[in-house]
Structure 1
């Protein structure tokens, strides 16, 4: 991926996440509940505590930055970064509503962090690293801005077979010739870091040590398969992008296929779809 292609790719990512910010705001309470176990594991493994300064990479609408801010308290600080201004505007409103003066958000590219060396005690990230092109630069930058002995805790999606709520619609949409198959890792993508050892190995190459992996199980619950599709398209920028590649008639067909397939997870009219995150902890 040349420099020009890389910049176009990032611009496309930015536009995609800007486009779904309203959906993330709309479903905030639900997504917070579903992903609470992941946030808890990230904060715990980061070893954040009162008075710590923390960087959260890929904060989106404010998570897990908000949870870290609760942990470090007003004697500490949290800076959350993201490509998407629209997502961060939601996060900023959330920080104000909670009265967190020690939580701030900044729009920037995670490949070049605008912070001095050894500024942060901890670094956190939730479902961001797998989307970053030139991830090794971000990992190197993470190492640079961490204090000696500090920890990074980053969550990515585990493998596709453990996350049917995400892999099923991708598989259906890729049945259409208009939707290209994703390039294999290390190219960025939803499941590009899902294999055990993938992210851990890249952190080791950057100089990190004491590296540990843990799996976090969660349950996505939806009142109906149609509601599942709506939330998916409201929030999942990559899914929305894939669907937009299809002409209207095929979009309608793909939608019905996804809704029908989701029904297999229904019990007493409620969809319950298990999911798994892979959290990697590493120390400088």
Structure 2
């Protein structure tokens, strides 16, 4: 079994490699995930002077949208991957957003004092932390009493056809290893109540879960395949592994 440091090192390298693709496909990704960001913002009940922490920010959402809504407050964007935060900073400058800071760090080891933030968001980063209970305890630790934490995770694979279609296509060409259900992966927190149990274990209260419908729209099947194979971590990793295996077994080019 890999150690937490080994897992983080592998994730850092993988997501650094995906960062350019996330920037390339930003408009489609923003359209697809926009409803999630909107739901997070609604539940956070933001104040004008909110001090907010966005964990696993990637290229900046929903943190940048939150920054626009708290002109007298501030938003701290954090991510394990500096390349992602560089994109977030460029996006902030392009939009004239000045009340943000960035910090490279892991979500399960936050370099902030207790009770620092009025609110915390984690959009689709939760399930990748090596130790979910430790990460949740860190979220709760830096949250002020009465503050709000909102996280988004993917539900079951069969309810996310936009991912599973690509995975099924890859499986027709190569053997696809089964995911470790207890290890970091896209669908690790899919079970109903999984996140609530983590929240409760960290001492959080007034917990609710809800579903959000998303739609991925591309111009063509070809664009769907190109985009998905380039930026979805699960698909990109399997596609790369498949290509490597097929190439290594052939003496022809």
Partner of 2:41: 43
Of 115-124 and 188-197, the range deviating more from structure 2: 188-197
Residue of structure 2 aligned with 1:89, choices 86, 108, 112: 86
Task: Give unpaired runs (5+ residues) of structure 2.
Answer: 248-253
CA distance, structure 2, for counterparts of residue 119 and residue 202 of structure 1: 21
CA distance, structure 2, for counterparts of residue 118 and residue 54 of structure 1: 11
1:230: how far off? Answer: 0.5
Task: Give the 3-state SS of the residue equivalent to 2:239 in structure 1.
Answer: helix
Cα-to-partner distance string for 1:148-172 (whole Å, 9 max, x where unaligned): 0001010111111110111232344
Partner of 1:29: 27
Residue of structure 2 aligned with 1:147, choices 144, 148, 151: 144
Partner of 1:61: 59
CA distance, structure 2, for counterparts of residue 144 and residue 99 of structure 1: 31
Partner of 1:261: none
CA distance, structure 1, for counterparts of residue 245 and residue 114 of structure 2: 53
Partner of 1:225: 221
Contact 1:178 1:245 in 2 (8 A): no
CA distance, structure 1, for counterparts of residue 171 and residue 138 of structure 2: 34
Task: Give the 3-state SS of the residue equivalent to 1:124 in structure 2.
Answer: strand
Partner of 1:106: 103
Cα-to-partner distance string for 1:199-249 (whole Å, 9 max, x where unaligned): 111111110110001111111111111111110122112321111212468
* Number of equivalences: 247
Indicate yes or no: 2:157 matched with 1:128: no
Contact 2:166 2:229 in 1 (8 A): no
Partner of 1:262: none
Partner of 2:77: 80
**TM-score, with length taken from structure 1:** 0.82
Contact 1:179 1:245 in 2 (8 A): no
Cα-to-partner distance string for 1:244-283 (whole Å, 9 max, x where unaligned): 21246858xxxxxxxxxxxxxxxxxxxxxxxxxxxxxxxx
Over the aligned positions, Cα root-mean-square deviation in angstroms equals: 1.7
Task: Give the 3-state SS of the residue equivalent to 1:35 in structure 2.
Answer: helix
1:103: how far off? Answer: 0.9
**TM-score, with length taken from structure 2:** 0.92
Structure in which a larger fraction of residues adopt strand: 1
Partner of 1:15: 13
Contact 2:28 2:216 in 1 (8 A): no
Task: Give unpaired runs (5+ residues) of structure 1.
Answer: 252-284
Cα-to-partner distance string for 1:160-196 (whole Å, 9 max, x where unaligned): 1110111232344356665321112x32211111111
1:105: how far off? Answer: 1.3
Partner of 1:272: none
Contact 1:56 1:123 in 2 (8 A): yes
Partner of 2:250: none
